[in-house]
Amino acid sequence: MPLSTAQAAPTRVPPGQAGCIFALASILLCLVGALSMSLRSRIPSVLSIALGLAVAALGLSGEAKAAEGCMTTIGAPHRFTGPALDSRIARTERAVLQSSRRAALWAGVWGTAFAGAAAGSLSVAATTDNAGLRKDLYVAGASASFGALLRVVMLPKPVLERRALRRQNLTDPCDRLQAAEQALVRSARWERSGRRPFIHFASLGYSASVALIHGLVLERPFAANRQFAIGAVIGQVFLLSTPRHATRELHALSGRSERVVLTHVRPFRLSGGGGLQAGGLF
């Protein structure tokens, strides 16, 4: 399966056909050497025979490597050969491609949303006569601009992995399989990193910092609380919407089932009031 429609992956000569080609080439070179011997041209004949034997040895080593197959680096150790190897390579490269496309779409949608919010906030702030509202919109526009800038500068890992895989332009089946599997592993690791508790708390910390500046420096405490609530919700939705295609494909290729997420929301009552209790397995 090619990584893109513009550049197809290099075709691989079947092992049997490659062996026949090497055998014919070695026989031809040995015949040339024997003919040179009959014509008393010893040096070219010896070179031709030696070259023929070298080509035959190369063909035998290639056949042995093709028969041995390629070992997977995902899941339990397993060696793929023949059509199974081609299918494994195609599926892994297709998983890297699809992960890259979904990550690029995710980044593009969020980047566009942040840029639109920044442009709208700053344009209204520049035309309004309300001094307090102008401060609020400048803070919102600056925060949204920072989010849009991050989407432009920090490209998703699956996109970078796909580009690196295309630049390698590998032809050996084992090298292609290993490179595609490692690219998928790194893409899945990036997807999981965005859902770690530390990242969620960092997002909340950023929203709290912006709210503190908004409330203390600009003296807009009520607007700062509102800014924190909006920023916290948007930040958590942003992180939870991270694509998981590479993670699902990695679990499928390794033969493991993906961890199920079980959540529950129930009333949480206290003597002086109440609220909601959320929990589950992540």
Q: Buried (b) or exposed (e) across 14-30, using 16+ Cβ within 10 A?
A: ebeeebeebeebbeebb
d(CA 214, CA 221): 7
Q: What is the pLDDT of residue 73?
A: 82
Q: So what's the pLDDT on residue 80? A: 86
pLDDT given for residue 74 in this prediction: 83
The per-residue pLDDT for range 44-90, each reduced to its tens digit, is 544 444 554 454 444 444 444 445 778 888 877 788 888 999 999 99
Q: What does the pLDDT read at residue 281?
A: 40
What pTM value is reported for the model?
Answer: 0.68
pLDDT value of residue 78: 82
H helix count then E strand count, the chain = 9, 4
Alpha helices by DSSP H, 69-130: 82-127
The pLDDT score that the predictor gives to residue 254 is 83
- Strand, helix or coil at 217? helix
pLDDT score for 22: 47
Q: Which residues of the chain have pLDDT under 50?
A: 1-13, 15-16, 18-19, 22, 39, 41-43, 45-49, 52-53, 55-66, 258-265, 280-282
